[in-house]
Amino acid sequence: MSEKYCILSNDVETTSIVNNCLSDDTGQIVLREGMPMLLDLYAEYGVKTTFFFTAHIAKLYPEIVKMIIPYGHEVASHGYTHEIDQAFDVLSLEQQIEHLKNSKEILEDISGKKLISFRAPAARVNRDTPLALKETGFKIDSSVASQRFDMFLSLGSMKKLNWLIAPRKPYFTKQDNLWKRGDGEIFEIPISALLMPYIGTTLRIFPFLSRQLRRTLARESSMNKKPIVFLTHPNEFIDEVGQENGPERRSSNYIAYLFSDLIRHHLKLKNLGKKALPLYQEEIRYFKSKDFKFVSCSDYYSEFTKNK
């Protein structure tokens, strides 16, 4: 593969960032404000992306899925729900299969498209996840963030330690391990990171450091053709002023609560809402200026397998 690729990915869910909890009302604001802003931005630059939807938000607001179809973006699964007690790293193989089947069926019925790409809510997976993905007809996963080192600020941090040893370039995984290269059928497209993750949250909190990370990742891509994979959420671009109730406690473990709820929540409020849009626009302009080709996860998979 001779071209340089940039995959912009969007996780679409009902998370209220200001309250650190799930809220159906937030989902409605995402539909009304966040999604149109992102779709207009992508249309302005002729960018094709992947949208990972939870089945929950799709059932609540089917139009949130349908609205991306005319633009040619990929519809992908972000699981059935973003509830933390339903995270994939705590579910059995049978439970994961059930979640994936339900999510896939709902999203395919709404979109009329066949789904092959998946990203786990909060990027939480276990050794059963590749088996569940294969069983339910998925071909692509994008839940691994190779060499990302802030996992202690999120839930499921112990399994996320595997990120440190995961391959940096896209790879076919082992049949029972998404973090290792192997002869399995699931194709992993890692979220870009180099100690810091290259995601919307980091971009908003540390714009200067994110620009340095962007340049480093672009240089790496120029050398080895590793695709840039950026992750953002439409709820990062919405305004929930007047709806703040304070961060919800999601863990009974005090250390997990301190890092993943209190500290992380406080940081995630920086540049939230419309202030995030010009920051993201700058990233897109940069990769446009460097002649990166913007593709979806499924497009990249097609290119990769065609050239093997």
Domains of the chain plus CATH, in order, are 5-306 (3.20.20.370)
What was the pLDDT predicted at 259? Answer: 46
pLDDT over 70 percentage in the chain: 88
SS3 state of residue 117: strand
Check pLDDT > 70 for residue 224: yes
| Comparison of pLDDT for 264 and 46, the residue scoring more | 46
What was the pLDDT predicted at 270? Answer: 87
CA distances from 82 to 49, 165, 187, 242 (A): 21, 26, 23, 24
Q: Is this model's pTM higher than 0.85 or not?
A: yes
| Comparison of pLDDT for 261 and 168, the residue scoring more | 168
| Comparison of pLDDT for 266 and 54, the residue scoring more | 54
* Stretch (H or E) spanning 264: helix 264-268
Q: 254 pLDDT band (50/70/90 cuts)? A: very low
N-terminal to C-terminal alpha carbon distance within the chain: 9
Check pLDDT > 80 for residue 65: yes
pLDDT digit string, tens, across residues 274-302: 999 999 999 999 999 999 999 999 999 99
